[in-house]
Structure 1
Amino acid sequence: MTRIAPAWLSDPGTRAVMDALATRGGDDCARFVGGCVRDALLGREALDVDVATRLHPAQVVEALSAAGLKAVPTGIDHGTVTAVSRGRPVEITTLRRDVATDGRRAVVAFTDDWAEDAARRDFHLNALYAEASGKVFDPTGRGIDDVLAGRVVFVGDPDRRIAEDHLRILRFFRFFAWFGRGEPHAAGLAACAASAEGVDRLSAERLSAEMIKLLSAPDPAAALRAMAGAGVLERVLGRPGDVDRLALVAPRSDDPLVRLSALWPDDPDFVAAAARRLRLPRAAWARLEAAAVLLALEGEVDRAARRLIYEVGAETARDQALKSPDRAASEAVLAMAARWTPPRLPVGGRDVARLGIPTGPQTGAVLKAFESEWVADDFPTEGVAERLSAAVSRVRGSEP
């Protein structure tokens, strides 16, 4: 008999939810399910705690309300109610079986059969359940072994599972990145390759969410190579991904946006369009666009690093540096960004006005001329007044 004993199992919030359900339907009416059980077997902290139950949604709401717990109907048509207990959200879903699917959405019917619920799940390692006592149930008979062996294997026929929901193609590679060891399961990989065009039917938001989760894995390179070989990665990214560069960048940064940037070419226009196509947040695609430049430092390295940081900002400089094949330049920029804060321009419009320049376009021209020389000279703190006077003279001398 396999048991788990994670911290969330004895958490007052989760205990209150399980007690409320048991009061309504008996001790065997609810079990923890999926990722939280899998992660507990691996000794990992679960991000979310989910529960499966024989109770129907209306009964779940009644049970929670009777116990004084908040019930939120987050997906009640598909059997899901979210309980909020002592600040902890717990997603509770009625046992289900699929009635009809179209590759994106499923029509479900409720059931009281744990094995039937397990049979509709994607992978054995996600088809695991645990009682409130921590006793683990493995209806497919393969879930525990697959978790411990690092195997990501579809429940039942892989082609059928993918036909039910094309998102499972991306989930196959995402779960392999996080939990897989060795080579991807051959039958599952072949099914993903055969149905790769199904990715085109998924929404941009679902594509980007899965990619960000995949790229957040400790080492996503092997999963991405398999994804590329199956013809899936190009469909997500809009062109073949540079997995070799990603493999070099991944150990240096766990930031999924830096890793995504490494997969794309150093072409700001393409990257901006691709990021918008994936409907990434504006701040994310703007960051990716700024990072899509090959790092090039001219002259003395530290001086050039300061200039780059001043001109593009520390975040963009770091993003460019992390992707750079020039390790010396890269390390110089990263070290400088960690210890140096760009100074503010030491002069402003009032300083220019005191030198007899009227407010208007000339003021901007003087400040631009001053800044250009000040940056080129490595941000000197002395002789500021003299430099500003020289900038005024240059601007006046350039007038017709």
Structure 2
Amino acid sequence: MKLDPQAWLARPGIRRLLKALHADQGIARFVGGAVRDLLLGEEPGDLDLATTHTPEEVIRLLEAAGIKAIPTGIEHGTITAVSSNTVVEITTLRADVSTDGRRATVAFTDDWQADASRRDFTINALYADPFTGEVHDYFGGMADLKARTVRFIGEPLQRIAEDHLRILRYFRFHARYGDGAPDADALDACTARANDLMALSRERIADELLKLLSLADPSPTIALMHARGLFAPVIPEIATTERLAGLIASERAAAIAANPVRRLAALLPPDPATADRVAARLKFSNKAKKRLASAADPDLGLNPRALAYRIGSAEAVDRLLLAGNAEDAAALKDWPVPRLPVGGAQMMARGIDQGPRIAKTLRAIEDRWVAEGFPEGAAFDAIVDAAVASAQ
């Protein structure tokens, strides 16, 4: 089978990059998602190239052509190329030397099938010639893609033993590409090896989980994972998955993009302290940690705009969507949160002494301004006058 190569050749800098690598000699092919997306009739996302060149050769060839080469994973054979602002991951063909479930020692090879055999799923081991679009399929990936089935290459238990993260990757791929019941052997293997997840770094777990939660509708897959006990080793706080489907329905009703942190909050108890512990365990950034804890707080308390003013627009939208208030969340989506149009200098000009009295007066102005719906003009001036008179 052949694909239309213009899907990638039309991108800025790609022809230049392929020329630098001498790809016309059959020593570089697009692989993975770029091929899979095209086979599904979708626009390719990230571009990944596999090549027989060694990493050092890739760097030399790119630099000779004036293309930026970044050794992002050179010990594993990966170089990031930036050609006319188009980013491509270039990886030398590899064969595993040893694995321990968390990392692999690899040897570089020129054997395309050997490289394909170390990849996790059949639909992830599809290669395509960058100029002719000819697809190279070593393990029935095209048939599986057509059937919307995600299968491991080789024996699932062994492949998971090589890299424990494949458990989470399996469910992410099933949520994205699967249709119907998952492959029974794969599901049983993931279930049997669930405790292997405890050996992984929390950063890797968090990255994969957030990718899964970012998909269009991962709720059926998440429910399956919970039923099979996949979360128990790493996030035992997940006691039910029912709220996630409701949140996704609210996001769609409000035409608000998915947010994986918000969706994780739907899986946790409505308790900020619990969310804070989970975020710390998963090594979230301070920003993501704060957002998860806020989303886990069920307190709406104020009207939607007042809530947005007090805790932030994104955080208010999270709480409203989690509460099923899609209409109020949609109304906040494009609302610019205002700033209090008065400050300490104006208070001093009105005769209020500098210090605690100014802060107290400004708080009184702000509280009334928020409660009355952020009035402007004469209505706001009346609020200021009343607060000043009370302070004098």
Alignment TM-score > 0.5, same fold:
yes
Q: Distance in 2 between matches of 1:156 and 1:32?
A: 22
Q: Distance in 2 between matches of 1:91 and 1:376?
A: 53
Aligned pair in 2 of structure 1 residues 389, 10: CA closer, same or farther (>3 Å)? closer
Amino acid in the other structure paired with 1:269: A
* Corresponding residue for residue 225 of structure 1: 223
CA offsets, 1:217-267, max 9 Å, x none?
Answer: 111112211221222234443411542111111241422222222222221
* Corresponding residue for residue 206 of structure 2: 208
Out of 278, 285, 305, the residue aligned to residue 281 of structure 1 is 285
* Corresponding residue for residue 7 of structure 1: 7
Deviation at 1:22, TM superposition (A): 3.1
SS at match of 1:129: strand
Out of 343, 346, 356, the residue aligned to residue 348 of structure 1 is 343
Deviation at 1:134, TM superposition (A): 0.4
Deviation at 1:394, TM superposition (A): 5.3
Q: In percent, how many aligned pairs have the same letter?
A: 46
Q: Is the 8 A contact 1:321 1:334 kept in 2?
A: no
Q: Which moved more, 1:62-71 or 1:305-314?
A: 62-71
Aligned pair in 2 of structure 1 residues 375, 89: CA closer, same or farther (>3 Å)? closer
Deviation at 1:354, TM superposition (A): 4.8
CA offsets, 1:346-372, max 9 Å, x none?
Answer: 543344435543211122222223333
Deviation at 1:206, TM superposition (A): 1.1
Question: Whose Rg is larger?
Answer: 1
Q: Distance in 2 between matches of 1:20 and 1:355?
A: 71
Aligned pair in 2 of structure 1 residues 367, 107: CA closer, same or farther (>3 Å)? same
SS at match of 1:237: coil
Deviation at 1:7, TM superposition (A): 1.4
Q: Distance in 1 between matches of 2:59 and 2:349?
A: 72
Amino acid in the other structure paired with 1:282: N
Deviation at 1:156, TM superposition (A): 0.3
Amino acid in the other structure paired with 1:359: Q
Aligned pair in 2 of structure 1 residues 364, 3: CA closer, same or farther (>3 Å)? closer
Q: How many residues were matched structurally? A: 384
Q: Which moved more, 1:226-235 or 1:161-170?
A: 226-235
Q: Does 1:332 align with 2:331?
A: no
* Corresponding residue for residue 33 of structure 2: 35
* Corresponding residue for residue 371 of structure 2: 376
* Corresponding residue for residue 307 of structure 1: 306
* Corresponding residue for residue 254 of structure 2: none
Deviation at 1:174, TM superposition (A): 0.9
Q: Does 1:17 align with 2:21?
A: no
CA offsets, 1:288-315, max 9 Å, x none?
Answer: 22222225457xxxxx333323322322
SS at match of 2:95: strand
* Corresponding residue for residue 320 of structure 2: 321
TM-score (norm 2): 0.88
Out of 99, 119, 122, the residue aligned to residue 121 of structure 1 is 119
CA offsets, 1:12-36, max 9 Å, x none?
Answer: 633333333337xx72322221111
Q: Which moved more, 1:376-385 or 1:187-196?
A: 376-385
Aligned pair in 2 of structure 1 residues 186, 4: CA closer, same or farther (>3 Å)? farther
Deviation at 1:56, TM superposition (A): 2.5
Q: Aligned runs of 1:11-160 on 2, under 5 Å?
A: 11=11, 13-22=13-22, 27-132=25-130, 133-140=132-139, 142-160=140-158
Q: Distance in 2 between matches of 1:353 and 1:64?
A: 64
Q: Distance in 1 between matches of 2:367 and 2:3?
A: 67
CA offsets, 1:164-191, max 9 Å, x none?
Answer: 0111111001111111111111111111
Amino acid in the other structure paired with 2:272: P
